[in-house]
Amino acid sequence: MRKRISILLVTSVFLCVASLCVVDVNRVRAKRIAPVAQQGASERVTITMRSLVPGASGTLLLRARSRQVRLSTHGLTRPESLDPRARVFMVWAVGADGRILKLGQLKTDAQGGALAFTVQPALEPYSVIVTAEQNALALRPSGVPVLSTRAREVSTPQPLSTNDEARQGHERSVNDVRATRTSAHVPTTDFYSIVDAALGSGRTLFLTGAPMLPRARGVAHVAVIGGTAFVRARLANLPAPSALGASEYVLWGRLRDGRAIYMGSLPARSLNGSDIYVRLNNAGFDDFNLFVTAEKTRPAIFPSNRRVLVTRESTRRTRRPHRRRRRRRHVSA
């Protein structure tokens, strides 16, 4: 009984702090970096959740146009290891006014957990928490909290319909890139301009086709600045995912310790020869390479073995420029 009271007290204090905190991090981000989207595509904004138990981690992926939020978790132990009566992990939204909405049950397996839910505009900006509960019928969070965003951190990015530079997904054609760079009036809040500016001090990675697609090629410019990862990639010779029996291509980052970081689904149309733009907030790393997989199911929690593009390892190191030997031409007298 005493343990039960202590769990309820910890949860109540946690919810009060989450609802009363006045720091609106995501609103500042929305003013500083304006999402751009068109034709049903979306800018991707990733939020790293705070871990309240050892070894657990979680991320939220927000999309502007689809109005969908994707939650992925890793390293969660079984619910009963946190509370003997707990059997499931539940996900909740906590509004700034204290209202609580149940988002659903976290679907878990040996590799991690995932849940996709629609945005909650009536609560925005709001917090998202994950708790260990006795069953999925719980009406309010009363179990052990395991993951949480910051207070009022979740807010759906709004697309700019008046931005003529917007293209489907994070892509532009070659002509669009040239037109934007030569324009004298580029807004500082334009998503593509921010990524382009950040990549000025980045690295170049060359992607080569895996055995599944040996003719596939790609080149990417990457950088990590202030905890945010930026990527601009151009791919070639990729067939439609359906040709490989897959539903989508997914871009992943590979860290030096072997961990894989989800960086987003690639656009289904106009993939070859277009620039793919990615910005990953709260990256938590300073070096990574890239690879692309063909995934059959959505959402992809972990990368499958169906790799279509991988980074050539030689591009991860700085190489001395190759000096071409001048051809000496004999001049007859």
**Domain extents for the chain?**
2-148, 171-316
Rounded CA separation 316/194 (Å): 24
CATH number for domain 171-316, candidates 1.20.120, 2.60.120, 2.60.40, 1.10.150: 2.60.40
Say whether domain 2-148 belongs to CATH 3.40.50.
no
Check the CA dihedral 95-26-286-190 and report its sign. Answer: positive
Report the sign of the C-alpha dihedral through residues 128, 129, 130, 132, in that order.
negative
DSSP SS3 for 122: coil
What is the pLDDT tens value at each position of the chain, 333 positions in all?
554 445 554 455 455 444 433 333 332 232 333 333 333 334 668 888 888 888 888 888 887 766 788 898 988 888 998 888 999 999 999 887 788 999 999 988 777 888 888 878 888 888 899 999 999 999 889 888 999 888 778 887 765 443 434 343 444 433 333 333 333 333 444 667 778 888 887 899 999 999 999 999 999 999 998 888 889 999 999 999 999 999 889 999 999 888 888 888 887 777 888 888 888 877 778 889 999 999 988 767 788 999 999 998 754 444 444 444 444 433 333
Nearest residue to 148 (alpha-carbon basis) of 96, 91, 83? 91
Which amino acid, 50?
R
